[in-house]
Structure 1
Amino acid sequence: MNPLRALTLFALLSSGCATAPAPRAAPPVPDTVALDAEAARAMAATGAKGLAIAVIDDGRVVATRAYGARDAKGEPLRTDTVMYGASLTKTVFAYLVMQWVDEGRIDMASPIARYLDKPLPAYADEDRYSTWSNLAGDDRWKAITPGILLTHSAGFANFGFLEPDGRLRIHFAPGSRYAYSGDGIMLLQFVLERGLKLDVGTELQQRVFDRFGMPNTSLRWRPDFARNLADGWTADGSVEPHDERSTVRAAGSMDTTIDDLSRFAAALVRGEGLSPRSFAEMTAPHLPITTRSQFPTFQDELPPEARRNDLAAGLGLVVFDGPQGRGFYKGGHNDSTGNTLVCLHRGRRCVLILANDVRAEAAFPHLVRFVLGETGVPWAWEYGDKALWDGH
């Protein structure tokens, strides 16, 4: 079956089921006193030095809290402290792309070749993007669409430089399976900037950061961030200075704060700024996820009977079905950062967690459950064999 038809068919078949159980009633959102106490327990249990949480209820930010330290000097982490957004950048970028879909500038199902003035491998390699020239001789790149790139199904490794020989290549038929790829997101940025002459950094600033009152968010480093900046802690407790990312990279260069990004999360779960159709498309299940965990990228697919039928790729996020109905989420990670955004359509509720200590990730499932109740987030798929704190 044509990959584009398969994506559409899966989205239609997964959009609802008459025999699905009725969603469970959502528990009340805990007050800030209870949230503060639970965050303190989580930090003590994991050894995390810094953590920030935002709670969204009915599409409104009802709490933003920050705990611990922002750096080795012990300066307090605040709700306006600049933290690394990591791969949550991808979801913000996907939201921007869907605005361009609404405006008719780009079509999710059209091959990217439509937007380029020469074949992709003919473009000179640039450090800002990736080495498209390595795709010469493999015409499968012509089947790649924006929808395929936003569902992480182009067939790329996470980044080409991680390949044994450092050369970007296509490992499977584009659109046929999920395999997380930052270079896929970078390719879509390249298509938009080179093919359509759109400046992703400028457009995000105007359409998202300015619109939703996010004064301390940018995809490019700003010197004023240094006044109130979070460094990070790695798994062994070492301090890692905040990286000053000077290049706009849609795959993950965003700096932000819990105050700022919570406003975007609230707007996203409301569907504000997108047509109802584009919001539904962004948060719909487009491609089944067939592996035991998200990483390593090219692990074997599970046999059909062992796969989860409640887990799929959306556009720039992951879609799941759980006891409270359908939701979506996105994680972000590097050696000293752990982030997650979990949203439920029912009640338009979200939890956003930014941690400047990667050890805090072990407490994310418990903290999300503490705020939202049981959701069905695929934590085992997200974190693989990583030991998680169960709250005891």
Structure 2
Amino acid sequence: MAMRNIVRSAILICASALLPLQGIAAKSLESRLDVRVKAGMTQTQTQGVAIAFIENGTVKLVKSWGKRNAKGEPLTTDSVMYGASLTKAVFAYTVMQLVEEGRLDLDTSIAHYLPKPLPDYADEEEKYAGWHHLAGDDRWRKLTPRILLTHSSGFSNFGFLEPDGKLKFHFDPGTRYAYSGDGLILLQFVIERGLGLDLGQEMQRRVFDRFGMKTTSMIWRPDFATNLADGWRMDGSTEPHDERSKTRAAGSMDTTISDFAKFAAGYVKGQGLSKTSRKALTTAHLSITTISQFPSLQPEAAPEARIESLAAGLAVISFAGPQGRGFFKGGHNDSTGNMLVCVEKRKSCVVILSNDVRAEPMFPAIVKLVLGETGMPWAWEYGAQDWTKD
């Protein structure tokens, strides 16, 4: 059975097993959450999870449970955890600052920023991707920052996953949603080669320093080793924390639940951005036409099978629910399960970081307990399709 099927089935089991708890209405949210998380960890065999709650743009709760490694050392709110694709939301926040400064325009071709045609950068594949594989296909000139941030580039998730290992277009840029890490990495390339900026330094200065995220970085830092979270895979085996040496806009960030809670609070309030730029991050830029997020290049669903309100924001997904518009971003690898879910009107969010991929079936019940019914499209996020790293 594909891992996506396993996760979806587990979510359905946990969603029914972890119904709203009875007889505890008088207890605080923290107490209720503690009961819920411990029950979920037992059911899923999850070894470590950390959660933050933001209400009206203010961090109200930050807490961790379980272990950070096979030695049994405790996972704390300051343990360094892999951010995975939550990195993409932080990257988009950085990009919008560059847009406000007039250094980027969301709808200008990337060709405008590059000193030479994209396919001519044949020597950049080791750090970025195989741009030279696009030689002879001028559709790369249609690519814009908005198209890349809305996952509508036409690329697969990563070019190295192609049967021949070569990056290529599967559809015309901007015409539909299909998740692509290489699309975000291409925008990083434009910023670094076209604007002459170091993305890691820009994110450090513009986001991590701004929000006081002292234990967050786009690359490995030696001081992380003293309180580092390793991971657990689906089969219960452990995986050492990867010491990433390259800044990758698609997902190289290390962070802590305490730090990322600060980012989430700043994000929903729009700190460091104008109201227009903040709104652009979570605006429904492009309707999503697939029944699930992965596989990335699956056929578009019939109109009646689509989720009407589901749309691509800038590196996040926008949806509508009983509390109005919301947005979310997940993050995943073989031993990591992360999730950010926010309700716009309340400026409220739940952040979940786990160093155990088996924790993901717990997420729907946790989010519902903390935020109430949001309309979060869990079936789309964890659909019954093949699991793909993001």
Counterpart residue number, 1:281: 280
Counterpart residue number, 1:84: 82
What whole-Å deviation, never above 9, does each CA across 1:46-65 have from its counterpart, x for those lacking one? 11000000000010000000
Counterpart residue number, 1:225: 224
In structure 2, distance between residues paired with 1:80 and 1:288: 37
Q: CA deviation at 1:385?
A: 2.0
Counterpart residue number, 2:241: 242
Q: Contact between 2:29 and 2:370, CA under 8 Å: does it hold in 1?
A: no
Counterpart residue number, 2:263: 264
Counterpart residue number, 1:370: 369
Q: Contact between 2:98 and 2:104, CA under 8 Å: does it hold in 1?
A: yes
In structure 2, distance between residues paired with 1:29 and 1:322: 27
Q: CA deviation at 1:307?
A: 1.3
State the SS of the aligned residue for 1:351.
Answer: strand
Q: CA deviation at 1:198?
A: 1.1
What whole-Å deviation, never above 9, does each CA across 1:190-227 have from its counterpart, x for those lacking one? 00000001111001111111111111000000011000
In structure 2, distance between residues paired with 1:314 and 1:47: 34
Counterpart residue number, 1:345: 344
Counterpart residue number, 1:301: 300
Match among 35, 38, 45 for residue 37 of structure 1:
35
Q: CA deviation at 1:128?
A: 1.3
Aligned identity (percent) is: 63
Q: Contact between 1:30 and 1:371, CA under 8 Å: does it hold in 2?
A: no
* Paired amino acid for 1:322: G
Match among 82, 102, 107 for residue 109 of structure 1:
107
Q: Contact between 1:140 and 1:173, CA under 8 Å: does it hold in 2?
A: yes
What whole-Å deviation, never above 9, does each CA across 1:246-288 have from its counterpart, x for those lacking one? 1000100000000000000000011111110011111100000
What whole-Å deviation, never above 9, does each CA across 1:289-313 have from its counterpart, x for those lacking one? 0001010111110112221111000
What whole-Å deviation, never above 9, does each CA across 1:18-45 have from its counterpart, x for those lacking one? xxxxxxxxx9995211111111111111
Unaligned runs of 5+ in 2: 1-24, 386-390
Counterpart residue number, 1:335: 334
Counterpart residue number, 2:198: 199
In structure 2, distance between residues paired with 1:103 and 1:298: 34
* Paired amino acid for 1:156: F
Q: 1:175–1:29: structure 2 CA closer, same or farther, 3 Å change rule? A: farther
Matched, 1:209 2:208: yes
State the SS of the aligned residue for 2:332.
Answer: strand
Counterpart residue number, 2:69: 71
Counterpart residue number, 1:4: none
State the SS of the aligned residue for 2:62.
Answer: strand
RMSD after superposition: 1.3
Moved over 4 A (4+): 27-30
* Paired amino acid for 1:109: D
Query: What is the aligned residue count?
Result: 360
Unaligned runs of 5+ in 1: 1-26, 387-392
Q: TM-score, normalised by structure 2?
A: 0.91
State the SS of the aligned residue for 1:329.
Answer: strand
* Paired amino acid for 2:38: A
Q: Contact between 1:59 and 1:266, CA under 8 Å: does it hold in 2?
A: yes
Q: 1:28–1:120: structure 2 CA closer, same or farther, 3 Å change rule? A: farther
Q: 1:106–1:28: structure 2 CA closer, same or farther, 3 Å change rule? A: farther
* Paired amino acid for 1:107: D
Q: TM-score, normalised by structure 1?
A: 0.90
State the SS of the aligned residue for 1:66.
Answer: strand
What whole-Å deviation, never above 9, does each CA across 1:112-133 have from its counterpart, x for those lacking one? 0000011000012331110000
In structure 2, distance between residues paired with 1:242 and 1:129: 22
Counterpart residue number, 1:15: none
Q: 1:28–1:148: structure 2 CA closer, same or farther, 3 Å change rule? A: farther
Q: Contact between 2:200 and 2:247, CA under 8 Å: does it hold in 1?
A: yes
In structure 1, distance between residues paired with 2:160 and 2:26: 46
In structure 1, distance between residues paired with 2:303 and 2:340: 28
